[in-house]
Structure 1
Amino acid sequence: MALLFLEEDPWLTEYESCEKLYRDIMEQLTFRQQHSRTSNTYSQISANVRLRLKQFNNEVGQLNQKLEVITKSGNITLAESERRTRQIEVLHSKAIQMKKIFEEQVISKLNEDRHQIIGPSTSEWASSGDERVNNTFSSVTDLKTNQKKMLEEQERGLENLSDVISRQKNIAHTISSEVDFHNEILDGLGNQMEQTNERVRTETRHIDVVGNTDKTCIYWVVIILLFISIIAVAVI
C-alpha cells in the first residue's frame, strides 16, 4: 500500500535530516582544511567532525532499521522500498567518503608541516624520496596511535568525571535525607513544646483554683471565730 502523504512521512523527514548533517560535516571539513594542524580551531573542528560522523552513521543505521519495519508492515510499495534502500546506500557511501576526506586532510597537513620544516624537494633530496615517504607513513601511524591514546585518555577522564558526579549526587541525597530527618525532629520538638505549654497552662489554672479555695476557707474561719466571740460576750 503506497503512502498517501509522503511529505508527512517521518522516515523522509529523518532522511532529510541526514542529508543536512552531511552538508554540515562537509562544510566543517572545508573550514578545517583552512587552519593549521597545531591551532586550537583545527583541534576543535576535528573533535566536532568526529562526533558528527558518529552521529551520521547512527542516524543512517536507524533509517535502515525503520525502513525494514515499514517494509514489513506494508505501508509502502516494493518499488518505494527499493528506492529508499538505494538512498541509504548512497548515505553509506557518503559516510565512507567523509571519513576518507578526514584522514586525507591529516596526511595533507603533515606534508605541509614537513615542507615548512625541510623546504620543497630538490635534486639533492630526490634520492631519498622513498625514505621520506616511509617516514610520512610512519608519522601518520604515530599520529593515529597518539590520537587513539588521546581518545582513550579522554574516555577515562569522562569516566572519572562521571564517578565524581555520581559521588556528588549521592552526597546531595545524603544531605537531603539528613535535612528531612532534622526537620522531622524539629517538628516533633515543636509538638512537644506545645503539649508542655498546654500542661503548664492547665496546672496554672489548677493552682489558681486551689489558691481561691484557700482564701475562702480563711474567711469562714474568721467568721466562725467572730461568731463564737459574740456568743461569749453575750453570755457574760
Structure 2
Amino acid sequence: MALLHIGDDPWLLEHETCEKLYRDIMEQLTLRQRQSRTSDKFSQLSATIRLRLKQYNNEVEQLLQKIGFGVNLTSAELERRNRQVETLRSKGLHMQKLFDDQLTVKNNEERRTLFGASSSNFSDDDFRRDNVSDIRSTQRQMIGEQDEGLDNLYQIISRQKNIAQTISNEVDLHNDILDDLDTRMERTNTRVRNETQHIGVIDRKDNTCGYWIVILLLFLCIVLVSLS
C-alpha cells in the first residue's frame, strides 16, 4: 500500500492543524510567563489561551472520531493514528497544567514580594509550629477588637436614633404651627369677606341718600317757581 501524503488525506491536514495550534499555545504560554499577573497583557493572554485550549481539545476529539473516515487504512496505521491522538491529548493536559501552574507561581511570587525579604524564609511549616496559645491569644484580641467596634457602632446608631427622634419632634411641631396658621388665615379670610359685604351695603345706602337729596332739591325748585 502506497504511503499517504498530507494532501491525500484530510485527517492528516487536521492533525497538522492541531500540531500548529499546540505550538502557538506554547508560545503564548511562554509569553504569559514573563508578564505580571496584574498587567493587562497577562489578562489578555490568559483569555486567548483559555479559548485556544478549548479549541484545541475540541479539534483533538474530532480528530479521534474521524480516524479512518473515508480512507482504507491498515490496522497498523489505525494504531499509529490512535497513538498520535493520545499524544495530542497528553499535550493538551500538559498545556492546561502549565496554564494553571503559571497563575499559582505568580500568586506565590506576589505573596513573597508582599511579605518582603525578612519573611521570605517563613514557610507553611513555620505556621504549623506556632504556639497554640499565641494563636488563641491573637484570636481573643481580634474578638475584643470586634466587640469594641460593635460597641462603637451601637453608640453611633443610638446617637443617630436620637437625632432622628428630635427631627421627628421638630417636624410635628412645625406641622402644628402650620395647622394653627391655616386656621387663623381661614378666620381672617372670613372676616375680610364679611367686612367687604358691609362696605357694599354702606356704599349702596350712600347712593340712595344722594338720590333723595336730588329729589328734595328739585321739589324745592318747583315750589319756588310756583310761588313766584
TM-score, reference length from structure 1: 0.50
Contact 1:26 1:98 in 2 (8 A): yes
Q: Distance in 1 between matches of 2:84 and 2:75?
A: 14
Q: Number of matched residues?
A: 127
- Other structure's SS at 1:76 match: coil
Counterpart AA for 1:64: L
Q: Distance in 2 between matches of 1:99 and 1:116?
A: 26
Larger radius of gyration: 2
Following superposition, the deviation at residue 33 of structure 1 comes to: 0.6
In the alignment, structure 1 residue 17 sits paired with structure 2 residue 17 = yes
Partner of 1:38: 38
- Other structure's SS at 2:122 match: helix
Counterpart AA for 2:105: S
Distance change >3 Å, CA 74–CA 125, structure 1 → 2: closer
- Other structure's SS at 1:128 match: helix
For 1:68-117, what per-residue CA distance to the aligned partner results, in whole angstroms no more than 9, with x for missing partners?
A: x52xx661111000000000000000010000001110110001110111
Partner of 1:78: 75
Partner of 2:5: 6
Q: Distance in 2 between matches of 1:30 and 1:130?
A: 35
Distance change >3 Å, CA 124–CA 7, structure 1 → 2: closer
Match of residue 100, structure 1, among 97, 102, 105: 97
Q: Distance in 2 between matches of 1:16 and 1:54?
A: 17
Distance change >3 Å, CA 108–CA 55, structure 1 → 2: same
Following superposition, the deviation at residue 122 of structure 1 comes to: 4.7
Following superposition, the deviation at residue 128 of structure 1 comes to: 2.8
In the alignment, structure 1 residue 89 sits paired with structure 2 residue 86 = yes
For 1:163-211, what per-residue CA distance to the aligned partner results, in whole angstroms no more than 9, with x for missing partners?
A: xxxxxxxxxxxxxxxxxxxxxxxxxxxxxxxxxxxxxxxxxxxxxxxxx
Task: List structure 1 segments (4+ residues) > 4 angstroms apart after TM superposition.
Answer: 121-124
Contact 1:11 1:66 in 2 (8 A): yes
Identity %: 54
Task: Calculate the aligned-residue CA RMSD, in Å.
Answer: 2.2
Counterpart AA for 1:47: A
Contact 1:15 1:63 in 2 (8 A): yes
Q: In the TM superposition, what are the counterparts of 1:29-178 in structure 2 within 5 Å?
A: 29-67=29-67, 70=69, 75-120=72-117, 122=119, 125-126=122-123, 128-130=126-128
Contact 1:18 1:60 in 2 (8 A): yes
Counterpart AA for 1:102: F
Following superposition, the deviation at residue 6 of structure 1 comes to: 2.7
Distance change >3 Å, CA 85–CA 119, structure 1 → 2: same
For 1:2-34, what per-residue CA distance to the aligned partner results, in whole angstroms no more than 9, with x for missing partners?
A: 565433211111100000000000000000010
Contact 2:112 2:120 in 1 (8 A): no
Distance change >3 Å, CA 123–CA 32, structure 1 → 2: closer
Gaps of 5+ in 1: 132-236
- Other structure's SS at 1:125 match: coil
Counterpart AA for 1:118: F
- Other structure's SS at 1:32 match: helix
